[in-house]
Structure 1
Amino acid sequence: MLRGDWGQARFTIELADDASERARGLMFREKLPSSHGMLFVYPSPQRVGFWMKNTLIPLDMVFVDPSGTVLRIHENAIPHDQTVIDGGDGVLAVLEVNGGMARRIGIRAGDHMQHPAFGSEAIWPCVSP
């Protein structure tokens, strides 16, 4: 889930939390339902880079730090483009959603993400029922 001054948005995600899943990502997908995405989670904060090789649909990439804070957003990554999209340093997770979704919702740097991947450092921790 994401929240900001604009409100909250919930996505149904696929989790890519190992090297093989992160390498494949959303390649070869012909469509992605509007409320769905893929969350790439790394074992520790790091500099990450993405490309769109073999990716058929435009995507927005939301780069998030260990506290769940959105660091930056890359909008409308171009299908098949092999230019590296630099997420910067200190990234623990990246949410990929349909291209244009971040702008439509209003997601901005400084917003917060909620997911169990963000542990004790989370600004917006997951609460057990």
Structure 2
Amino acid sequence: MRCFAVAMACVALAGGAWAECSPDRVELRGDWGTARFTVEVADDPDERALGLMHRESMPSSAGMIFIYEAPQRVHFWMENTLIPLDMIFMDETGTVQRVYENAIPLDRTPIPGGDDILAVLEINGGLAAQIGISEGSELRHPGLPQEVAAWSCAEE
């Protein structure tokens, strides 16, 4: 119940006036409303390889966004990752293509994200469902190509 209350606070906070896009924040929207997460950016091979490994906890309003140089087929796994995570896979427009919920800590089984994935957002396990994030939801972040973004940083 506490986790649900925190998730709803995250959605409620996002409902106010939007600040400009920032590298340390992602915003998501859908028919469920809007949400905002403070993120670390993993946009080079070393950062993407390390990800959220070895962390014992993460604030509920936090996450990590993995951004690739070009859309591609991606697979993730949970080796050395100690907390359950939701993985949200987006195409180059920032449109959610797949949500994988509650990835099992320390599991080495590959988690396929699909083809033509440009970015992946990892948040605490269970939050995507609690908030309502699903296929078709849209994410905005300045690291995505703004000229094709479904929800660009220029929009309010």
| TM-score scaled by length of structure 1 | 0.98
Match of residue 67 from structure 2: 41
Between the aligned partners of 2:127 and 2:38, the Cα distance in structure 1 is 14
Identity %: 61
3-state SS in 1 of match to 2:142: coil
1:22 equivalent in alignment to 2:31? no
How many residue pairs get matched? 129
* Letter of the structure 2 residue corresponding to residue 76 of structure 1: N
Match of residue 122 from structure 1: 149
Match of residue 106 from structure 2: 80
1:95 equivalent in alignment to 2:115? no
Between the aligned partners of 1:54 and 1:21, the Cα distance in structure 2 is 14
3-state SS in 2 of match to 1:104: helix
Between the aligned partners of 2:118 and 2:111, the Cα distance in structure 1 is 16
- Which segments of 5 or more consecutive residues in structure 2 lack a partner in the other structure? 1-26
Runs of 4+ residues deviating >6 angstroms: none
* Letter of the structure 1 residue corresponding to residue 123 of structure 2: V
1:10 equivalent in alignment to 2:36? yes
Match of residue 86 from structure 2: 60
* Letter of the structure 1 residue corresponding to residue 151 of structure 2: W
Give the number of the structure whose residues are more often helix, by fraction: 2
**CA shift for structure 1 position 128:** 8.5
* Letter of the structure 1 residue corresponding to residue 83 of structure 2: I
1:71 equivalent in alignment to 2:97? yes
3-state SS in 2 of match to 1:102: helix
3-state SS in 1 of match to 2:116: strand
1:32 equivalent in alignment to 2:58? yes
Match of residue 104 from structure 1: 130
| TM-score scaled by length of structure 2 | 0.81
- Structure 1 residues 109, 128: closer, same or farther in 2, change over 3 A? closer
**CA shift for structure 1 position 117:** 1.9
**CA shift for structure 1 position 127:** 2.0
Between the aligned partners of 2:155 and 2:46, the Cα distance in structure 1 is 30
* Letter of the structure 1 residue corresponding to residue 37 of structure 2: F
